[in-house]
Structure 1
Amino acid sequence: MRRPGVGLLFLAESAVLREALGPELYEAVLAVRRAEAELFAMFTDADVIKAVRWRY
């Protein structure tokens, strides 16, 4: 079962990530991940896979 946003909680609490990226980039990464979690929250796993697989 997919739980959108759970990983975001770990990212937001990561002092290591904050220090490695610096405050500006860290906040930008969190903003993007929050937007992704919000966007994909209404989709099924299959929909998310179809939307992002082979995209990059």
Structure 2
Amino acid sequence: MADRAAAEIKGMAKQGMAHPGTKPMLTGMAIGAVAAAVLPVLTIPVGVVGGAAIALWQRVKR
């Protein structure tokens, strides 16, 4: 699974917005940032990273 995640990240880095995984990743980052802004326990950078990680995991587990 780590190999698939690394390949996904490299593909997004090379292709940018043309890669099919970029938009779901950005959406996950935005959702994480909003959740962190609402919850007093989390900071926004932690929410962004968490949202990105969840979005990547959802994409790679298929």
Query: TM range, normalised to the smaller chain?
Result: 0.3 to 0.5
Specify which structure has the bigger relative contact order, considering alpha-carbon pairs within 8 angstroms and separated by 6 or more residues. 1
Q: Which has the larger radius of gyration?
A: 1
Structure with the bigger percentage of helix: 2
Q: TM-score, normalised by structure 2?
A: 0.37
